[in-house]
């Protein structure tokens, strides 16, 4: 009975989120270039956020048992100050400055890549809430995610979302082997770090190879007219494997590593 009551309270809050006007924070302006994507992790499904089905405004929604291979196109919207600090459907507090989102049927949590179909920008968010319940809208982004994707000002944008398979993430080891026979035309890399000195870059690359990371290379380039040496892993054949590599890099202290899409 307590479980059912909690679900009812959660979805009443969600209905209110659809009916009331939301807004951006008046005293904070985020720099889209400084916002980091959510880092996918292999998390257990929420105890409260995944009923078999639920009803909102007379319509029944059935929660998916799996997110494997999920792809969807439609409009994205966002929510901000009105629900900042309030409980999401998964039981977590909503943080408009975190890279999160709401979806009607994906199991909670699910990590998804969201691509803006008009400007080509991509973000990674953690889906931990339910909504939006407007026709045509498929995902409700946090204020931070909307800012990074370029829709905070317009309110909505055409997007494609793809679920990221996190079931293969090994959270108990710091070593991962990237297949050496990757596709030569791959355009996904994980950048570990960048250095002004080639010797430092080569040192880090060697350390990674010693930890059984493969396809580690040092790329020479320029930044503000000065030479920079970037340590990268790849190309990597798919996003799932890229985020598996990223997670393992974080586990051994490379917290500034990031996924690059050429």
**What's the pTM?**
0.64
- State the CB neighbour count (10 A cutoff) for residue 146: 30
Q: What is the structure's pLDDT at 24?
A: 65
* Domain locations in the chain as residue ranges: 2-163, 188-261
Beta bridge pairs of residue 78: 141
Mean pLDDT, range 192-198, rounded to an integer: 94
Tokens of 95: 């943080």
Query: In this predicted model, what pLDDT tens digit does every residue of 113-141 receive, in sequence order?
Result: 999 999 999 999 999 999 999 888 999 99
How many percent of the chain have pLDDT more than 70? 81
Q: Where are the beta strands (DSSP E) in the chain?
A: 53-56, 59-62, 71-79, 100-102, 110-116, 122-129, 137-142, 157-163, 188-195, 216-223, 226-236, 258-261
Mean pLDDT, range 186-215, rounded to an integer: 90
Q: Could you check whether the bond before residue 165 is cis, i.e. omega within 30 degrees of 0?
A: no
Q: What is the structure's pLDDT at 48?
A: 85
Residue 207 vs residues 105, 203, 214, 232: alpha-carbon distances, Å: 43, 6, 11, 13
Residue 13 vs residues 51, 89, 130, 132: alpha-carbon distances, Å: 16, 9, 10, 12
Query: In this predicted model, what pLDDT tens digit does every residue of 213-259 receive, in sequence order?
Result: 888 999 999 888 889 999 999 888 777 788 888 888 988 989 888 88
Contact 109, 46 (CB under 8 A): yes
Q: What is the CATH number of domain 2-163?
A: 2.40.40.10
Cα angle 162, 167, 173; round to 5: 125
The CATH fold of domain 188-261: Alpha-Beta Plaits (3.30.70)
Q: What is the structure's pLDDT at 135?
A: 87
**Are the folds of 2-163 and 188-261 the same?**
no
Query: In this predicted model, what pLDDT tens digit does every residue of 76-122 receive, in sequence order?
Result: 999 987 778 889 999 999 999 999 999 999 999 999 999 999 999 99
Residues 89 and 245: their CA atoms lie apart, in Å, by: 30
């Amino acid at each position: 009975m307590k479980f059912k009551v909690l679900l009812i309270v959660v979805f009443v809050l969600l209905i209110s989120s659809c009916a009331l006007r939301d807004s951006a924070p008046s005293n904070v302006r985020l720099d889209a270039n400084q916002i980091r994507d959510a880092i996918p992790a292999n998390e257990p499904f929420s105890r409260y956020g995944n009923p078999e089905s639920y009803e909102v405004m007379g319509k029944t929604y059935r929660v998916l048992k799996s997110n494997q291979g999920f792809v969807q196109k439609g409009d994205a919207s966002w929510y901000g100050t009105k629900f900042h600090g309030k409980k999401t459907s998964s039981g977590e507090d909503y943080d408009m400055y975190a890279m999160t989102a709401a979806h009607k049927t994906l199991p909670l949590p699910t990590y998804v890549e969201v691509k803006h179909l008009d400007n080509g920008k991509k973000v990674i968010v953690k889906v931990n809430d339910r909504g939006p319940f407007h026709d045509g809208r498929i995902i409700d982004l946090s204020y931070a995610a909307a800012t990074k994707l370029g829709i905070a000002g317009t309110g909505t944008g055409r997007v494609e979302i793809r679920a990221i398979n996190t079931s293969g993430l090994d959270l108990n080891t710091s070593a991962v082997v990237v297949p050496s026979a990757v596709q030569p035309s791959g355009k996904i890399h994980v950048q570990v770090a960048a250095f002004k000195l080639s010797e430092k870059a080569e040192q880090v690359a060697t350390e990674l190879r010693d930890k059984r990371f493969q396809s580690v290379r040092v790329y020479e380039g320029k930044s503000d007219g000065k030479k920079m040496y970037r340590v990268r892993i790849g190309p990597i054949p798919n996003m799932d494997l890229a985020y598996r590599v990223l997670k393992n890099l974080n586990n051994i202290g490379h917290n500034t590593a990031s996924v690059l899409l050429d």
